[in-house]
């Protein structure tokens, strides 16, 4: 079976300043949904703290920094989740994916910038170094034979060109269950 | 979204299921850099669906497997 993994975490939202106006007529799920500036600020802080801490920040940590209530942070995260800008856990309380970074341990480990991260899937694993603009080393396993795979990415090029990437679910359905792609 | 030793490993893993899309690790790397390269930019803004689709198209990732809704 396909792994439970993060998809590409694409955020296909339309930037919007000012009031919390939501775009109507969504094409599908969060595609082309607007995100207002306060939520973009929340999103950017969430990413920064994920990098600084080396793990997903909690709602309490973000609330303290933003001098907001935890409920306000979670409400913002829910809007970002609906817009595919982050992915929350099943209870819609804490972060599950801050793509390409994974909030939980996965089969895709990435060393980059002197630290290590979990990525949500193979696509995201290559995205960690891309997002940080550094070289990276990716450790995962072949789902077929279970052999370990280590790929070093230097100057955006992988050192093992025999490897292949497979996505089982068509793009139109990625967000039907972003954990299964 | 998984990484395999080779296409032979993908075929064996599928075990007769309908395959999705398979691309080289080099193309995956190009895709990752195009997709995620701006993610930590403080001026990051959401992309439109069409912009995202253009990234895929630009890498030759076309057809039903790569068509966003």
CB contact under 8 A, B33 and A15: no
pLDDT for res A33? 75
pLDDT for res A143? 96
Whether residue B37 is contained in a domain is answered as yes
User: Which is higher by pLDDT, A20 or B59?
Assistant: B59
- Each residue of A152-163: pLDDT tens digit? 999 999 999 999
User: Which H/E stretch holds residue B11?
Assistant: helix B7-14
pLDDT for res A173? 83
Whether residue B13 is contained in a domain is answered as no
CB contact under 8 A, B36 and A124: yes
Whether residue B58 is contained in a domain is answered as yes
User: Which is higher by pLDDT, A10 or B12?
Assistant: B12
Instruction: Please compute the mean of the pLDDT values over residues B22-28 and round it to a whole number.
Output: 97
CA distance B69 to B59: 18
CA distance B9 to B19: 12
Report chain A (181 residues): mean pLDDT per 10 consecutive residues: 38 30 37 85 97 94 97 97 92 94 96 94 96 98 97 97 95 78 71
ipTM: 0.96
A99 touches chain B (CB under 8 A): yes
Nearest chain A residue (CA) to B14: A1
Whether residue B40 is contained in a domain is answered as yes
pLDDT for res A30? 59
Domains of chain A listed by start with CATH number? 14-101 (1.10.10), 104-173 (3.15.10.60)
The parent domain of residue B37 ranges over: 23-69
User: Which H/E stretch holds residue A139?
Assistant: strand A136-141
Based on its alpha-carbon atoms, the radius of gyration of chain B, rounded to whole angstroms, reads: 14
Whether residue B31 is contained in a domain is answered as yes
Whether residue B16 is contained in a domain is answered as no
Select from A113, A153, A8, A16 the least CA-distant residue to B39: A8
pLDDT for res A12? 28
pLDDT for res A73? 98
The count of domains in chain B is: 1
pLDDT for res B2? 93
pLDDT for res A31? 62
Question: A80, A126, A154: best mutation site toward chain B, by most B Cβ within 10 Å?
Answer: A126
Whether residue B5 is contained in a domain is answered as no
Whether residue B35 is contained in a domain is answered as yes
- Predicted TM-score of the model (pTM): 0.85
pLDDT of B4 strictly over 90: yes
């Amino acid at each position: 079976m396909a792994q439970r993994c993060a998809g590409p975490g694409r955020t296909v939202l339309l930037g919007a300043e000012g009031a919390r106006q939501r775009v109507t007529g969504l094409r599908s799920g969060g595609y082309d949904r607007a995100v207002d500036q306060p939520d973009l600020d929340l999103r950017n802080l969430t990413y920064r703290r994920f990098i600084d801490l080396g793990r997903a920040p909690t709602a309490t940590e973000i609330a303290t920094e933003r001098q907001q209530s935890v409920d306000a942070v979670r409400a913002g995260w829910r809007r970002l989740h609906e817009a595919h800008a982050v992915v929350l856990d099943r209870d819609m309380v804490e972060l599950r994916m801050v793509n390409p970074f994974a909030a939980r341990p996965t089969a895709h480990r990435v060393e980059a910038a002197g630290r290590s991260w979990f990525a949500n899937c193979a696509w995201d694993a290559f995205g960690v170094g891309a997002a940080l603009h550094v070289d990276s080393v990716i450790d995962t396993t072949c789902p077929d034979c279970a052999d370990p795979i280590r790929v070093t990415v230097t100057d955006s090029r992988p050192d093992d060109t025999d490897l292949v990437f497979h996505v089982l679910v068509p793009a139109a359905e990625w967000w039907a269950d972003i954990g299964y792609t | 979204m998984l990484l395999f030793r080779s296409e032979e490993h993908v075929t064996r893993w599928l075990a007769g299921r309908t395959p999705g899309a398979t691309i080289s690790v080099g193309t995956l790397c190009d895709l990752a850099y195009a997709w995620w390269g701006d993610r930590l930019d403080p001026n990051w803004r959401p992309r439109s669906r069409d912009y995202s689709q253009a990234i895929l198209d630009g890498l030759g990732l076309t057809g039903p497997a790569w068509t966003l809704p």
